């Protein structure tokens, strides 16, 4: 405990880190406040119908990612999901379209152009999702709740148009908050905003599970303890998956320093077993939510009736496959064997038994393909654990934290943020957050 308080004290001794933490905290407070600001023209006291329909299923997951803003008919109801969807499209274009592939290789200037395209595409997606969301709001709450229509004489079309513009502004503002956190705060802003929405739902989910087990004849306290112990092991497994590394040996050639020759030194290239982190989960979840747009956010209509049941076989099978595919895709985008081989060659290094150049690139690419397969399968299994937990009697609210998207995002973002805090401590010659070794996040080596 003494070590913990010393670490907290050291964190606030570093002026830059202290400013970044306060800045991040203030922006998160602004986001959480906005989640409870209801769209103008809607009576907040009549939102019970909308809130009750956003507690379970895919819509419940979307409501959790938005921190409850979706069920509150908030100005932040669409959250960052349109931006995530736009990012998926732009990154896919970077693989299949030569122009976007060229932009990816232009460094900072290319990244800025792609970010600008992502923002414009986000607006296009909101123009589709906004009217669909407003149609869902009209279906779920009584007509008397629309004050602007009933008392001010607005037409439904005008009210929906103004509300869609407000939703667009809210979603872009949330995206701006995320970018500001990334630039001037701590952690990845977009991921941190999603995580905050998830954390906000965790106490309610845990209390609902305790109440279910204690007040009803559904296993009692013993079963509750077993569930919490199993949940602990699932969290540990998720942390292990995020931090797992496979090391490839690299033999450095002889180098002459002064008049002395130093022989080869065996070193290692740390290759992450799950180099993509939680991004495949976020991408796959965004695609699974896509059919809800065309069913007016109603999981009982159209294609969403098949994919809207997150406990169903088809939902989990497709979700698992998408996670495996996106894990390979995102690893290919973020890990470049060609650059690794060139860097190794410049440093005078080589892999024993492998020729430098093209053969080294092929070898590293083969290693990444082999280690990514078990990582992607393990990631997919953890992602579908909530459906399995629900079969064994865990409540819907708590089952979403029993593995799945929520837990992996929570673990990955927390580790990344703590890793940044630890780097500041170590740069100022303070002890890190761990007694032994360094804390490793999703992007850490």
d(CA 424, CA 426): 6
Q: Do residues 193 and 27 lie in contact, with contact meaning Cβ atoms separated by under 8 Å? A: no
pLDDT of residue 143: 82
pLDDT-derived band at 26 (thresholds 50, 70, 90) equals very high
pLDDT of residue 1: 62
Nearest to 120 by CA among 77, 83, 65: 83
pLDDT of residue 430: 61
DSSP labels for 280-311? HHHHHHHHHHHHHHHTTT-TTSTTHHHHS-TT
pLDDT-derived band at 27 (thresholds 50, 70, 90) equals very high
Using alpha carbons, list the distances in angstroms from residue 120 to 114, 116, 180, 287, 426: 10, 6, 18, 19, 40
pLDDT of residue 261: 46
Question: Tell me: the pLDDT tens digits for 260-307?
Answer: 444 556 667 777 777 777 778 777 877 777 666 666 555 555 555 556
pLDDT-derived band at 444 (thresholds 50, 70, 90) equals very low
Q: What is the mean pLDDT of the chain?
A: 78
pLDDT of residue 79: 85
pLDDT of residue 262: 47
pLDDT-derived band at 81 (thresholds 50, 70, 90) equals confident
Percent of the chain at pLDDT exceeding 70: 82
pLDDT of residue 28: 92
R_g of the chain, CA atoms, integer Å:
24
Going from the N-terminus, what domains does the chain have, and what CATH number goes with each? 2-427 (1.10.3370.10)
Instruction: Give the three-state DSSP class for 141.
Output: coil
d(CA 142, CA 158): 18
Mean pLDDT along residues 238-260: 65
pLDDT of residue 87: 84
pLDDT of residue 110: 82
The answer to whether the pTM exceeds 0.85 is no
Question: Tell me: the pLDDT tens digits for 154-171?
Answer: 888 898 899 999 999 999
168 or 392: which leads in pLDDT: 168
pLDDT-derived band at 23 (thresholds 50, 70, 90) equals very high
Q: How far is CA 98 from the centre of its chain?
A: 28
pLDDT at 131 over 60: yes
Mean pLDDT check: name the lowest of 29-33, 84-88, 327-331, 426-430.
Answer: 426-430
Mean pLDDT check: name the lowest of 13-17, 75-79, 318-322.
Answer: 13-17
**Residue with tokens 């290759």, as numbered in its chain:** 271
Mean pLDDT check: name the lowest of 93-107, 219-233, 246-260, 358-372.
Answer: 246-260
Mean pLDDT along residues 148-157: 82
pLDDT-derived band at 370 (thresholds 50, 70, 90) equals confident
320 or 53: which leads in pLDDT: 320
Nearest to 191 by CA among 75, 283, 63, 91: 283
In this structure, what is the dihedral angle of CA atoms 350, 443, 87, 182, given to the nearest 10 degrees?
Answer: -130
pLDDT of residue 29: 92
pLDDT-derived band at 139 (thresholds 50, 70, 90) equals confident
pLDDT at 173 over 90: yes
pLDDT of residue 169: 92
Mean pLDDT along residues 112-141: 86
Mean pLDDT along residues 67-90: 83
Question: Tell me: the pLDDT tens digits for 43-75?
Answer: 878 777 666 666 665 666 677 777 777 778 889
Could you tell me whether strands 266-272 and 245-252 are parallel, antiparallel, or unpaired per DSSP bridges? antiparallel
pLDDT of residue 256: 47
pLDDT at 11 over 80: no
Mean pLDDT along residues 209-218: 74
Mean pLDDT check: name the lowest of 44-58, 194-208, 350-364, 404-418.
Answer: 44-58
């Amino acid at each position: 405990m003494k070590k913990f308080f010393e670490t907290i004290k050291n964190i606030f001794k570093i002026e830059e880190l202290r400013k970044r933490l306060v800045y991040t905290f203030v922006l998160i407070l602004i986001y959480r406040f906005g989640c409870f600001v209801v769209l103008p023209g809607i009576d907040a006291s009549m939102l019970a119908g909308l809130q009750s329909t956003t507690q379970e299923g895919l819509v419940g997951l979307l409501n959790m990612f938005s921190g409850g803003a979706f069920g509150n008919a908030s100005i932040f109801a669409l959250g960052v999901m349109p931006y995530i969807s736009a990012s998926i499209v732009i990154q896919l274009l970077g693989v299949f379209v030569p122009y976007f592939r060229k932009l990816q290789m232009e460094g900072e200037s290319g990244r800025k152009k792609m970010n600008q395209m992502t923002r414009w595409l986000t607006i296009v997606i909101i123009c589709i999702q906004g009217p669909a969301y407003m149609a869902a709001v009209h279906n779920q709450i009584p007509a008397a709740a629309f004050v602007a229509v009933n008392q001010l004489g607005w037409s439904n079309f005008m009210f929906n148009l103004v509300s869609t513009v407000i939703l667009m502004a809210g979603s872009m503002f949330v995206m701006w908050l995320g970018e500001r956190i990334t630039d001037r705060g701590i952690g990845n802003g977009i991921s941190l905003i999603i995580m905050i929405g998830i954390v906000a739902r965790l106490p309610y989910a845990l209390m609902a599970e305790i109440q279910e087990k204690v007040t009803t004849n559904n296993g009692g306290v013993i079963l509750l303890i077993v569930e919490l112990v199993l949940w602990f092991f699932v969290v540990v497994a998720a942390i292990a998956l995020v931090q797992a590394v496979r090391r490839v040996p690299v033999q450095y050639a002889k180098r002459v320093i002064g008049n002395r020759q130093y022989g080869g030194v065996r070193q290692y290239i740390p290759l992450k077993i799950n180099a993509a982190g939680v991004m495949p989960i976020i991408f796959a979840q965004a695609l699974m939510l896509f059919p809800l747009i065309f069913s007016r956010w109603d999981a009982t209509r159209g294609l969403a009736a098949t994919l809207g049941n997150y406990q169903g076989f088809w939902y989990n099978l497709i979700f698992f496959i998408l996670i495996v595919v996106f894990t390979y895709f995102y690893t290919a985008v973020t890990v470049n064997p060609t650059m690794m081989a060139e860097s190794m060659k410049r440093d005078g290094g080589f892999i024993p038994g492998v020729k430098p150049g093209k053969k080294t690139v092929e070898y590293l690419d083969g290693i990444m393909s082999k280690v990514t397969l078990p990582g992607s399968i393990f990631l997919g299994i953890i992602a579908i654990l909530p459906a399995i937990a629900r079969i064994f009697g865990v409540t819907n609210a708590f089952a979403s934290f029993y593995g799945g998207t929520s837990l992996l995002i929570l673990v990955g973002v927390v580790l990344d943020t703590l890793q940044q805090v630890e780097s500041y401590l170590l740069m100022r010659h303070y002890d890190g957050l761990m007694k032994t070794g360094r804390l490793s996040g999703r992007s850490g080596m």
